[in-house]
Amino acid sequence: MLVEINKKLPSIRKKILKPFLVNCNPNAVTLIALAMAGAAGYMFYMNQVVWASVFVLLNGFFDILDGEIAKTYGKTTKLGDFLDHSLDRIADVFIFFGIALNPQVPLWIGTLTLLFILLVSYMGTQFQALTGKRLYGGIFGRSDRILFVSVFGFGTLFFEKSLYYGTLIILALSAVTFLQRFYLSYKAIKNS
């Protein structure tokens, strides 16, 4: 969802990030994003859900910032792309493992959610292996997950079961996105 909005209105992202663009190593920013995800996962585990949500948003912010720095200052590299995508998966594990261990979410629901999130990402790279193009499509990508986790985490201030129901919604949307990407990959193989 957010990927499509970004494609149509990239100027919004650029305006938001402009004050934070610094000529530095974007891989260092990628590591900061990973540290924020680690903090978020720990806070979810400790049932400090609002703080966890703050760290999830910081993870998302630094994850966007590293790419923008790389593009703006001509520092895009294959190593940077590899680190960004690999550490994003580790960040997903940190965040959703913390949610799986949170007392508000049954372990099996958190674990299944994490599994589908990793499968969604896998289908993106599988598509790339088959076609040479990365697949970010589907109704629910990483940026959507970051936003939803944060909203549902902050929602616990008003509704105690917000994280539980939010995880169920993320699970359902991730399962649908996995099926969408699986189908697109299948079509790519069949039509090649």
Q: Which CATH homologous superfamily contains domain 17-187?
A: CDP-alcohol phosphotransferase transmembrane (TM) domain (1.20.120.1760)
Describe the crossing of helices 10-17 and 49-72 by its angle, rounded to 10 degrees.
100
Q: What is the pLDDT of residue 134?
A: 82
In this prediction the pTM is 0.92
Selected residue with higher pLDDT from 24 and 39: 39
The least confident of 42-51, 59-68, 107-116 is 59-68
What are the tens digits of pLDDT across the range 122-161? 998 888 888 888 888 789 999 999 999 999 999 999 999 9
Domain boundaries, the chain: 17-187
Q: Which two tokens stand for residue 45?
A: 């585990």
